[in-house]
Amino acid sequence: MAGEPVRILQSKLGLAADGQFGPATEQALKAYQTAHGLEADGIAGPDTFLALDLPELILLAVGSRGEAVKKLQAALGVAADGVFGAGTETALKAFQTKNGLDVDGMAGPVTLQKISAFAAIITPAVVEKALSGPEVPSADSKPAAAELAKAPHKSLWQTITSFFS
């Protein structure tokens, strides 16, 4: 993976933020996960993003696992086993339809802010952060800044969901 979500993760982990998820990022992530009682799998998933205080990066979709999924399942009234499967997706799509949301079967900040169990975490400011594009630094501030400035403007959320397309 690469891009703005990786840069945000790297910055939070205290790494040079080049936007490329490589061995150094994986090693730092595993160390963080171990130190914070998370499964040290090197995958930046929803529970890790919550622990890192990066709720704008949370995306719960088929295949997601963990406590955030259990919380979603309980709120949707389905068996809370912590594994986002077909039943969770169906319940989520029904919730999205009922609440006038895009019906994509994925729970990101826009959907999660409508679920009371996530209200304290997914605030309007978090949603705004997720929907805004990356800050584009001046072209002379860093070598990569010129490349970022030339890139098509994509919101953070568009970048995250594109990994699942």
82-91 pLDDT per residue, tens: 999 999 999 9
Q: What is the pLDDT of residue 140?
A: 37
pTM: 0.77
Identify the CATH assignment for 4-131 out of 3.40.640.10, 2.60.40.10, 3.40.50.1100, 1.10.101.10: 1.10.101.10
pLDDT in tens, 116-151: 999 999 999 999 988 885 544 433 334 444 444 444
**Residue ranges of the chain with pLDDT lower than 70?**
133-165
Nearest Cα to Cα of residue 122 among 66, 62, 71, 164: 71
Angle at 46 between CA 158 and CA 29, to 5 degrees: 100
